[in-house]
Amino acid sequence: MSGLRLETATARLGGRMVFDRVSLMVEPGQFVALVGPNGAGKSSVIRALAGLLPLTNGVARLGGDDVATLSPRERAARAAYLPQERRIAWNLPAVEVAALGAPFLAAGEAVARARRALAEVEAGDLADRGVAEMSGGERARVLLARALATGAAAVMLDEPIAGLDPEAQLMVLERLRARADAGQALLAALHDLPLAARFADRVVVLDHGAVAADGSPLEALTPEVLRRVFGLSARWVEGPDGPLLSAGRAPAAQGS
């Protein structure tokens, strides 16, 4: 068994339940979008799968093995993780930051892989620049390259397109889609629902730490789910390349 899996998992943080009895699976070749309002538990689910948040109950699996039984080196080789935090403490060249994604490789091989990952996210020209001299969007692409440089079978990304301009958002999601098509298991927390619907094979909707819907974009992002979970009025319309999600704020309830 490979890919990512949560099995009836519950986790607490600071004594507070952050998600409860969550089950989800990301198989090789799948791009799964994890969506939900702020505070729904998206980041906590990803951190649990990465082995960074212990579970109260249930199991998180990487490549079929309980993540709690894997060493940090084994976790790093099996799954790449991009946290929501974009801060970089030292003004290192971008290529050195990206090479940190493959610490298990010899230095030369890690740098070569880092340069390929930077080129993949259209940041090859940033390779020798210090990250402290970059814009937030440029640093975001460098950190994404660091995750992709791992070359792991599974990739977990927490808001990978946050802080990017629209063109860069599309570029990043196209690259992630291509990675899934090539066989990687991809899980990404996203806030942009139309983009999640456009690029993901499946969408998992979290609400108050529980799975509210799980299925294809058409199955998971129904008008009823979007109204109940997000307070949106939404519908699917036929676009030139298939169904597109159109959404706006739901009208306020009228008093009697």
**pLDDT on residue 256:** 38
**pLDDT on residue 15:** 87
**pLDDT on residue 235:** 80
User: Whole-structure pTM over 0.75, yes or no?
Assistant: yes
**pLDDT on residue 252:** 63
The pair of three-digit structure tokens given for residue 238, joined into one six-digit string: 């036929």
Q: What is the full DSSP assignment across the chain?
A: --SEEEEEEEEEETTEEEEEEEEEEE-TT-EEEEE-STTSSHHHHHHHHTTSS--SEEEEEETTEEGGGS-HHHHHHHEEEE-S----SS--BHHHHHHTT-TTS-HHHHHHHHHHHHHHTT-GGGTTSBGGGS-HHHHHHHHHHHHHTT--SEEEEESTTTT--HHHHHHHHHHHHHHHHTT-EEEEE-S-HHHHHHH-SEEEEEETTEEEEEESHHHHS-HHHIIIII-EEEEEEEETTEEEEEEEEPPPPPP-
Could you please state the CATH topology (level 3) that the domain comprising 4-249 is classified under.
Answer: Rossmann fold (3.40.50)
Give the pLDDT of the chain (256 residues) as one tens digit per residue: 579 999 999 999 988 999 999 999 999 999 999 999 999 999 999 999 999 999 999 999 998 999 999 998 889 889 999 998 877 888 999 999 999 988 878 888 999 999 999 999 999 999 999 999 999 899 999 999 999 999 899 999 999 999 899 999 999 999 999 999 999 999 999 999 999 999 999 999 999 999 999 999 999 999 999 999 999 887 888 777 777 787 777 776 555 3
Task: List the chain domain ranges.
Answer: 4-249
**pLDDT on residue 247:** 73
